[in-house]
Structure 1
Amino acid sequence: MQNLDLFAEPEPTPINIIDCDGLVEYHRLVIAAQEANQFFDALLHKIEWKSDEANIFGKQILTKRKVAWYGDKPFSYTYSNSTKMALPWIDELITLKAIVEDKTGASFNSCLLNLYHSGEEGMAWHSDGEKDLLKNGAIASLSFGAERKFSFKHKRTQKTLSVSLQHGSLLVMKGETQSHWLHRLPPTKKVDTPRVNLTFRTIDESRSDSR
């Protein structure tokens, strides 16, 4: 396990991305470049990546994008009509969770990871409002690898906002953000290198079927 002395210097003030109905803080670089490179390499090779699954109109779809689900316990987590069981933390995830908790002041018991092999892989508009998650709980998103644009759209006004997520940066969605905003990772032909994204979350144990 690596030390927690990994913060980029100087640390800038977080930027608030949205202007109403929630709070989204972009912390830019929270992990210095050399350590971010080391984490990126470790995550690529040590995480148990699998193609994501979605059950659409009774048909099972496998994505090129790879995912993994880790947690304090073997929590179940259901989205896109597919249920995953959390794997036990590896050392790198424990270290990163501690960094994120220090930055946000929140605590997390699980992490959903996504591996995008290139800009051709993305994520459609959605909100992270699954019943397994703590209502209005913070979701902390760490990015490693290729810099990608990340977009928000207000559910009522359709207003859109975007931010470029850098290697070693942290984005935190708080409060009622999931109730009022959609977000997505738009595909792009301008990026031909991989990106790993970690979203630290809090499973509501009163609702989850953990074993």
Structure 2
Amino acid sequence: MQRLWPAWGFDIDGSRRLDLAEFFGNDRPVVLEIGFGMGEATARMAAADPATNILAVDVHTPGQGNLLNLADRLGLTNVRVGNGDAIILLREMLAPGSLGGLRVYFPDPWPKKRHHKRRLIQPEFLTLAATRLAPGAVLHCATDWEPYAEQMLDVLTAHPDFENTRADGGFAPRPAFRPLTRFEGQGLEKGHVVNDVLFRRVPREEQAADRA
């Protein structure tokens, strides 16, 4: 953290708008990943796709340090790590249409009914995220909590800014680019079912045509 954070890390404080091309040193597409755990899957995806920049956000300091260490050891130049609230990042620090994708893998399911309002994937979040995603960008969510997976599918299907990449309107198989995470493996060992949803940001002209 002491050695790499000044170069590759940043605090999400809402005090400035990030120039992503300047931040990464190139104009390649940027994918925002919200919640990366210990960062193993993030590092593997970054290594497999060097043409895509990954803006990885979490509040877990050991995970931040581990991801920075992995990026350093693997010689990755396409990873930046943010500490703080992703909502503030989206709302105050990213320009409209600046993201080429958004990944939310295994967010807290908040299983108790009274806590469902704390789940990240809600209509209000999707409306905000849509403003920062470029047309055609993909929002990719994965969870091993089936009731949350159903909610994800329902709210995304109902949202006018997104359309399912699956013609049948259902869940998608795990894409080859998403590695099996350690957390996911633990869930599978417990008999959990993992579901992926991939929705595309609908361009405004398509929305207008649909309404017509």
| TM-score (norm. length: structure 1) | 0.28
Which structure's residues are more often helix, by fraction? 2
Which structure's residues are more often strand, by fraction? 1
Q: Report 1 or 2 for greater relative contact order, CA contacts < 8 Å, sequence distance ≥ 6.
A: 1
